Amino acid sequence: MGVTSFEQMKKEIPISKDKATNDFVLCVADAITNNVPQSAHQGEWEVVVFDSAQVNAFALPGGKIGVYTGILNVTENQDQLAAIMGHEVGHVIEHHSNERLSAGKLSNVGLAVATIALGASEIENKGLWMAGLGIGVQYGVIMPYSRSHESEADIIGQELMARSGFSPAASVQLWKNMSKLSKDAPPEFMSTHPSNETRIQTLNNHLALSQPYYLAEKSSGKLPTCVKPKVIPKPKETPKS
């Protein structure tokens, strides 16, 4: 399902051809995926940079990672992008999409909402897969994952980025940046995601455990050197018919 959904997205969303942007994203992705356990995925990972202003990224079962150029304007450096990737790959490591697809069968109410949101003609397996895989509101039938899954992915992601040679403290700063973008976000109890304040506190508290992994990598002199381009090209507007 992950592979099928990814192929569908590549057909529907423009892909960035900017070399500097792709090099930066691939550099971070290579460092992160080198430390993913084989129980999550064996073999190469496919990484695609989507030319979209959407502030988002995702990882799918089957070794697929998608990064929207919009999120690169929020992540200030390699460490913050690693925090995003670590979080998304954390969902794959913990098999969250499998849990969601197994336990979260859509109720009649869910199907009714989906019908209104997407139109009856589009309620096919693709939409359900997108929702189950947690890609996001735009491609999901309902909100992706749960608060518990998100919190778990935050912790797994912070440890993964630290083991990969990225400063785990950047995950805290990342969510401070995200908080500035979501001042109108709903209260935590109304959302399937933890509030930015909760995420910041949780990640801050976990630094004592993840920081030693980073310091070990730093002492070995094996830290990644992924350079963010000074300019991230803006997505091209779709020509009006």
State the catalytic residues: 88
Q: Chain-centre distance of CA 133, in angstroms?
A: 11
| 8 A C-beta contact, residue 114 and residue 141 | yes
Token representation of residue 28 = 């971070």
> CA separation (Å) from 219 to 57, 157, 171, 222?
30, 21, 21, 8
Q: Which of 118, 140, 116 is nearest to 192 (CA)?
A: 140
Q: Helix, strand or coil for residue 71?
A: helix
Look at the alpha carbons of 79, 225, 46, 61 in this order and tell me if their dihedral is positive or negative: negative
How far is the CA of 132 from the CAs of 19, 62, 101, 114, 126, in angstroms?
A: 32, 14, 5, 13, 10
User: Tokens 């990737």 sit at which residue?
Assistant: 85
Q: Please name the amino acid found at residue 224.
A: P
Residues written for the chain:
241
